[in-house]
Amino acid sequence: MTYDRLVCANCAAPVTEGRCPVCRANRERMQQEGPFGGLNPAMLLTLLIVLLGALTVLAARTA
């Protein structure tokens, strides 16, 4: 989940607005994690396998 859609349980405002200390802390944490911070290792492995499969198909077509 991206923090632009996340709603704070403390103040019920969007986390991106940073209205309370909880919002600001979570916004900062999610920004530091980067785009793949919310994915678990199994999902990252699945994405890697799909990417390698797509590259293999692409390489086979160009050869």
Query: Does the predicted TM-score (pTM) go above 0.85?
Result: no
Q: Is there a contact between 19 and 11 (Cβ–Cβ < 8 Å)? A: yes
Closest CA to 15 of 32, 23, 28, 62: 23
Rounded CA-CA distance 21/33 in Å is 19
pLDDT in tens, the chain (63 residues): 555 678 888 898 888 888 999 988 888 888 787 777 777 788 889 999 999 999 999 999 987
| Model pLDDT, residue 27 | 82
